[in-house]
Chain A
Amino acid sequence: MASNKKYWKSVEELDTNSIVETLQQNEFVEEIPVDGFLGDKETLEASSTTRRDFLKYVGFSTAAASLAACEGPVIKSIPYVVQPEQVRPGVADYYATTIANGFDFASVLVKTREGRPIKIEPNKLASSNGGTTARIQASVLSLYDNMRLKSAKIKGAITTWSKFDADITKKLTDLSAAGKEVVLLTQTYASPSTTRLIAEFKEKYGNVRHVVYDAISESAALDAYQEKYGERGLASYDLENADLIVSVGADFLGDWQGGGYEAAYAKGRVPEQGKMSRHIQFESNMSLSGANADLRVPLTPSEQKVALAKLYGFVTGASVGGKLPAAVEAVVKKVAAELKKAGSRAVVLTGVQDKGAQKVVFAINEALVSKAFNPSVPVKIRQGNDAAMSKLVADVKSGKVGAVIMSGVNPVYTLANGEAFGDALKKIDLTVSFTEREDETSAYVNYLGAAPHYLESWGDVEFKKGHYSLMQPTIKPLFDTRQFQDSLLKWMGSAESYYTYIKSTWSTGFLGATSWNKALHDGVLVKPVVVAEVAEGDVEEVEVTNVSADVAKLAKAASKGLELTLYSKTGMGDGQMANNPWLQEFPDPLTRATWDNYLTISQADADRLGLSLAQSTFFTEARNDANGGLNGTYANVTVNGVTVKVPVMVQPGQAVGSVGMAFGYGRKAGLKTEMQTGVNAYKLYANANKVQEVKVELTDGIHEFACLQLHNTLMGRGDIVKDTTLEVFNTKDAKLWNPKPHVSKDHAMIPVDSPDADLWTSFDRSVGHHFNLSIDLNACTGCGACVIACHAENNVPVVGKSEVRRSRDMHWLRIDRYYSSQDSFNADVEKKDNIAGLGSSLVEFGELENPAANPQVVFQPVMCQHCNHASCETVCPVAATSHGRQGQNQMAYNRCVGTRYCANNCAYKVRRFNWFLYAENDEFNYHMNDDLGKMVLNPDVVVRSRGVMEKCSMCIQMTQKTILDAKRDGRAIKDGEFQTACSNACESGAMIFGDVNDYDSEVYKKKNDSRAYHLLEHVGTEPNVVYQVKVRNSKEA
């Protein structure tokens, strides 16, 4: 039925001649000026360029351009005018040197190509500190940092060294004449030559004070040692002699007292003849050491003190007061009993930053007569003195100091009241800082000395008493830099170089019969420490120091609110390498977060303070974004009136009542904008005390983390990480704790490795080399040195925070970290196996996703598994990935067309796709977009381009080189010669690489060990990477 109703949209429409009518008539509101160029027919026709012509030109020029591109570019080759004798283009040279930057100390080998250092490797001749950590591996990239200070500066203006020297020498002479005090504020050098040099400098200028300052202080332990043994140092611990290691707050696998304990620790952790060491950890933050412990007891810092006091009481039988939760007290009692039982094979370590606590530990170890406790060989790599430093700060503020000469320190950044110290420095006329970059302190000093990187410097280090190591330059200084020590020599009027100075220190001191060249070649020299002969009778009378006062003090420790423990991250350390993109993108072993620091907090505390985000659901995004990216709330953290706004990360295992935060972030000065990440935790480091009482409250904003691992538990899938206890391992058959998976064929179960279960016909690999990599989950501490070693060896690009958040990280080697959902992984498996029925599975699978409050932790390095029956190879449409006879799954990048089918089909998710061109791209302004940064690239490995899949090659360039060297020498290859970057970097010996066709090889034994299993074995991919079942010594001895 027709309707005569009139519908109108607006009142204006009813009005005739309104604008609405005009609009109804015209498609466009304004007239489009097409007539301007189309209306004039004449001009169009007169134009010599018709549309067809135009298209012809376009077509022709495109064709011409593409044809011209077919012409190869002319490449110039420029040889040396005079080729240095040691350099042979294409052949790598190795030099032994030492890193000693005040925080990291190690004897290393440097691989150089055509005169440029490209990789750091451990010096296997070194008897101490010969391992490399992630930071030490990454330090080579800091050499090629374009933000380094390139020449000396006076008041911000570039100057020459001669002017620099003349000014300073004159001022020093004047100050010396006026009797004013000159202060040398340096990092820990632990260098015999520098010590001698500073002594001579003191002699020359009279009123000189030398203050050693560590950004992260170990002063309490040093004071305790000094008080007891009369020398400034740290007791060394030989952990390979310990069957029972009890640590109270000491992250000895991290940076505790300078680190370097990993190798010795790992040695005892591999079960041999049914025995392995037992490790008990009391701590508040979840640390690497805690993650590796057999028994981990989360305690707040004040509870740790009480626990330590009680431990002392139970071990020595003294009565100790103090309050602990009953459950904890029971554990402490049991631990004490274990300690007493293990006797001299036990050791106690502590990271409690309190002189009394350190003394109590000495007393416990003495009472145990611990063989692992070795105070006679003091460790020298931390020498900072809090008291001296705070006195200096006061003196500078009160104007008592005439000059401050700094080297290797950045106090304005690392002091809690850094800016105030900086302002005080400004009032002093002669302020000098030797630094590698224009850091936070540089803005406050008048004279900036451009310091060279350690790979450009001479030096020597005494790690422990009698354990010497030499530092030699491996490249000519890239910039106009000069060492602090050379400058001191200049200012003393000496014409000598620091090199000859070191040489004379060594030859007159401890070199002895060893030649200088041999020492330099080896990089290390060990002189046995002569221990004063102790008569037999005296041993009985060794006086156990009376520490009852200290114990009583410890026992009284208590805290009102939340306690913050500041710690150093495996990646960033004290923050001096913050401009290193490898370290920024290095995933923290525990949180797996990159490019950030954060406040770690327990789930209980987070819930209590409203800091926890709800789990994302199908409809809502909260904890995770749609792309999976992890989100966090922000909290205001207040210490003594100083407040910082920090993102919050819930950390399973964090002691309730405690929070943690990492040093080293929040730097701005001298850093690329991309590297200016995180929050400066030193602002909360009041009185150089890493434990602070804090107020934490929720504040607005949501933080976006770049976290590599979004699923934290194994969900009871015990076949990914096989985990058992020492008791079961010793008493039960391997079939029980390391079962071979069976699959069903024709309704009968057959083992997965039987030929009937295989899709593929097997290839005979019995001839020639067949490479396998064995990864021992017992020895792996999760330190991540292998991750960075892989970066350096294989030119792995850095992609930046936002790409990591999108799960487009390029790490060829990742270390998966899993938490247990129940108290142990075995309990998870049990729970999963007992799930029955719909109701139970709906509830309990969900529960398994949540890690426990104090979970077991396991680290599992995963790289390409080099499957003999690889699922990726089968699906590549262009056969870009194929299998080699030697067991490597080979990836031909130039053949890859980027379908990513292989990555989808890979069971282990180890393939990485180049979403972008990461080299020479301003969007990825990291080392590959920098002429200097590119010098670190390994010339034997291709830099992959956009649209190409890449993955671990099992360092085929290294295995091929080993084979070629043997062929050239006409000899067979010995076991141990084959290495990959990761296995070579692995200090703990968790990664063993080699040829399984060599039946005498280590890896052959590992492969056929009862603990050996493959990842996702039931898939039937037959990987060439073998894992060893993790065994926990969880039952008290």
Chain B
Amino acid sequence: MKKVKHRNSTSKVLGFCLAFLLAFSTSIFAQGDPVAGKSLFNSNCAACHKLDKDMTGPALRGVAERLEKDWLFEWIRNSSKMIKAGDPYAVEIFEKYNKTAMTAFPQLSDADLENILAYTSEEKKAEVVPVAQAGAGDASADSGMSTDLVLGLLALILLVLAVMLFMVTKTLNNLAKQAGVQAEETDSVWQKFVKNQFLVLVAVIAFMLFAGYHAFGFLMQVGVDQGYQPVQPIHFSHKIHAGDNGIDCKYCHSSARVSKTSGIPSLNVCMNCHKNISEVAATTADGEYTKEFYDGEIQKLYDAVGWDGTKYTGESSPVKWVRVHNLPDFAYFNHSQHVTVAGVACQKCHGPVEEMEILEQHAPLTMGWCVNCHRETNVKVEGNEYYAKIHDELKKKYGVDQLTIAQMGGLECGKCHY
């Protein structure tokens, strides 16, 4: 609805833009560049400050209006000096925010500070509320209905045809009876089938093959959880983290580099970023989940780690994640061997995690799957002194340029089962 309004009042928009431009231009002369200020703010201040919300430090929108510029400049460059000097407001702020001294920024020039202040003085933009997708939903429902309708019609026609056929046969039979035509007593198809021993044999063999094939298929998938997608206690979206924000897998799963387990990140790793990110950007919530939903999930993290928005309460409750990838105990798998030594991309086994809103098991994780890869993949030997001697010798022995893992002995039982 809002969109429609905006679209219609082009003149108003134009006027607003003009006014904004004017304000912008004046601010350049008077206070600095808010665009430059934004980047400075993000690199220097955003760890502790937000524009509209108190964090480690106070919310900063309109701070230039609240306080004198000289005072602010001095505070930013050396707050502890002011506190020591006993500046009343400085002391008050210091006391209010848990006696955490603000980092001093003597390196920021006057122009930088002007820019930052200009940024903090910007008006709060109206939040872009994503337009509800009611219409779209209707449309899809419509199309669904139409296919149903077509199918239904087809079924009806078939039914009518069947009824007609049945009636025709009945009428013909009646006619025949009336005419005294003696229908031949023939065996039914079933009786004929039963009498034909060859057919029965073939059918039984076919049935057994069919049943055997499917029974085997069923048994082979027992314990294979490909596509396993459990509901997690916190809806963690790999799509947002690894995909949209491009965070490296090993930033959170750091032990994959050195350990046999990739490690589920401890909550303090989450808080490295989420101390400052308490809500998702409006644009993030464009899919099937709303912004409120995502913010609620971040709140769950805060509850678990015991963060009340400004400080840790010390009351934490560890998150009980549901394990997705699960190798049996008798199989030894080492992440660092694959990640660090072989340089295998995480996606090779875990699939396109960066596209997964809810993580699922991509690979079957069966022994056949492991072995296949070991047969096909060459050992990465470049620059690794460990392989220098053995690789040369084995190359000669097998007469190949590149050794597969299998040729290096990667298929021996004891390499994974002990």
Please report A residues at the B interface, Cβ cutoff 8 Å: 70, 72, 74-83, 88-91, 764, 766-768, 880, 882, 884-886, 888, 890-895, 940-943, 953, 956-957, 960, 963-964, 966-973
Q: Tell me the bound Cα distance from A956 to B412 in angstroms.
A: 12
Given A72-B223, A72-B225, A79-B319, 18 more A-B residue pairs with CB atoms under 8 Å apart are A76-B320, A77-B322, A79-B266, A79-B318, A81-B266, A83-B266, A88-B255, A89-B255, A91-B255, A768-B394, A892-B414, A893-B330, A893-B417, A895-B413, A956-B414, A967-B341, A969-B386, A970-B383
- What are 15 A-B contacts with C-beta separation under 8 Å? A72-B225, A79-B265, A80-B266, A81-B268, A81-B304, A82-B268, A89-B263, A767-B397, A884-B409, A884-B414, A886-B409, A893-B417, A940-B260, A942-B417, A967-B384
Q: Which of B21-29, B331-339, B345-353 contacts A (4 or more CB under 8 A)?
A: B331-339
Give Cα distance in the complex from A7 to B414, angstroms: 75
Question: Residue of A at shortest CB range from B396?
Answer: A767
Of all chain B residues, the one with the shortest Cβ separation from A768 is B390
Q: Which residues of B contact A82 (CB under 8 A)?
A: 266-268
- Nearest B residue to A766 via CB reads B393
Which residues of chain B come closer than 8 Å to A972, judged between CB atoms? Answer: 385-386, 388-389
Residues in B301-355 with C-beta less than 8 Å from chain A:
304-306, 316, 318-323, 326, 328-330, 332, 334-337, 340-341
Residues of B within 8 A of A72 (CB): 223, 225, 228, 326
A83–B270 Cα gap in the complex (Å)? 12
Q: If the complex has contacts A78-B320, A966-B386, are A764 and B397 also in contact, measured as CB distance less than 8 A?
A: yes
Complex contact A968–B397 (CB within 8 A): no
With beta carbons under 8 angstroms apart, the residue of B225, B385, B393 that contacts A970 is B385
Given contacts A768-B394, A968-B258, contact A78 B263 (CB under 8 A): no
The answer to whether A942 touches B329, judged by C-beta atoms less than 8 angstroms apart, is yes
Given known contacts A79-B266, A886-B409, A967 and B414 CB-to-CB distance under 8 angstroms: no
Distance, CA A74 to CA B324, complexed state (A):
9
The contact of A971 among B255, B330, B385, by CB within 8 Å, is B385
B261 an interface residue at 8 Å Cβ cutoff? Answer: yes
The winner among A72, A89, A767, A953 for most chain B CB atoms within 10 A is A767
Q: A884-B409, A884-B414 are in contact. Are A968 and B340 (CB under 8 A)?
A: yes
Residue from B268, B306, B332 in contact with A957 in the complex, judged by beta carbons closer than 8 Å: B332
Are B268 and A83 neighbours in the complex by a CB distance under 8 Å?
Answer: yes
What 9 A-B pairs are tightest by C-beta distance, nearest first?
A890-B414, A90-B259, A83-B266, A80-B266, A892-B413, A90-B261, A90-B260, A79-B264, A75-B323
CB < 8 Å: which of A89, A892, A971 contacts B417? A892
Q: In the complex, which range does the number of interface residues on chain B fall in?
A: 35 or more
B:372-413 near A, CB below 8 Å: 383-390, 393-394, 397, 408-409, 412-413
Q: Which residues of A contact B230 (CB under 8 A)?
A: 74
| A221 vs chain B, min Cβ distance (A) | 47
Q: How far is the CA of A892 from the CA of B332 in the complex (A)?
A: 12
The reply to whether the CB of B85 lies closer than 8 angstroms to some CB of chain A is: no
CB <8 Å contact, B261 and A89: yes
CB of B417 within 8 A of CB of A894, answer: yes
Report how far A74 CA is from B267 CA in the complex, Å.
Answer: 22
Q: Which residues in B have their C-beta under 8 angstroms from that of A78?
A: 318-321
How far apart are A178's CB and chain B's nearest CB, in angstroms?
Answer: 47
- The answer to the question of B216 belonging to the interface, with a C-beta cut-off of 8 Å to chain A, is no
Residues of A near B328 (CB, < 8 A) are 894
B418 on interface, CB distance cutoff 8 Å: yes
Chain B hits for A890, CB < 8 A:
412-414, 417-418
Minimal beta-carbon separation of B230 from chain A (angstroms): 7
Contact B414 A885 (CB under 8 A): no
State the main secondary structure of chain B at its contact with A: loop
B414:A767 contact, CB within 8 angstroms: no
Question: What's the dominant secondary structure at chain A's contact region?
Answer: loop
B415 close to A (CB within 8 Å): yes
- Say yes or no for B14: interface residue by CB 8 A criterion: no
Is residue B222 within 8 Å, beta carbon to beta carbon, of the partner chain? yes
Q: Given A79-B264, A88-B255, A953 and B414 touching (CB < 8 A)? A: yes
> Separation in Å of the A943 CB from the closest CB of chain B?
8
Q: Which of B255-311 contact A (CB under 8 A)?
A: 255, 258-261, 263-269, 304-306
* Residues in A whose Cβ lies below 8 Å from that of B413: 880, 882, 884, 890, 892, 895
Chain B residues near A970 (CB, 8 Å)? 383-386
**C-alpha spacing A885/B406, complex, angstroms:** 12
Tell me whether A79 and B321 are in contact (CB under 8 A): yes
Q: Is the CB of B394 within 8 A of A767?
A: yes
A303 to B385, CA, bound (A): 65
Measured between C-beta atoms, what is the minimum distance from A947 to chain B in Å?
14
In the assembly, what is the distance between CA of A70 and CA of B388, in Å? Answer: 46
The answer to whether A79 and B267 have CB atoms under 8 Å apart is: yes
- A81 near B318: Cβ-Cβ < 8 Å: yes
Q: Which residues of A contact B318 (CB under 8 A)?
A: 78-81
The docked-state distance in angstroms from the alpha carbon of A995 to that of B266 is 40
Residues of B within 8 A of A895 (CB): 413, 417
Determine if A942 and B330 form an interchain contact, defined as CB atoms under 8 angstroms apart: yes
A957 / chain B contacts, CB cutoff of 8 Å: 332, 418
Measured CB to CB, the nearest residue on chain A to B268 is A82
User: How far is B356's CA from A171's CA once the two chains are assembled, in angstroms?
Assistant: 68
The answer to whether B222 and A70 touch across the interface, beta carbons within 8 angstroms, is yes
Among A76, A886, A942, A953, contact of B323 (Cβ-Cβ < 8 Å): A76
Complex-state Cα separation, A722 to B354, whole angstroms: 65
Which of chain A's residues have a CB closer than 8 A to the CB of B384?
A: 967, 970
Docked CA distance A960–B337 (Å): 11
Partner of A956, one of B225, B263, B341, B418: B418
Min C-beta distance of A726 to chain B, whole Å: 40
Q: Which residues from B are CB-within-8-Å of A885?
A: 409, 412
Structural contact, A88 and B259, CB atoms closer than 8 A: yes
B-chain residues with CB within 8 Å of residue A89 when the two chains form the complex = 255, 259, 261, 263
Interface pair B334/A964, CB less than 8 Å apart = yes
B393 touches A968 (CB 8 A): no
Question: What is the CB-to-nearest-CB distance from A33 to chain B, in angstroms, rounded to a whole number?
Answer: 46
Minimum CB distance partner of B379 in chain A:
A967
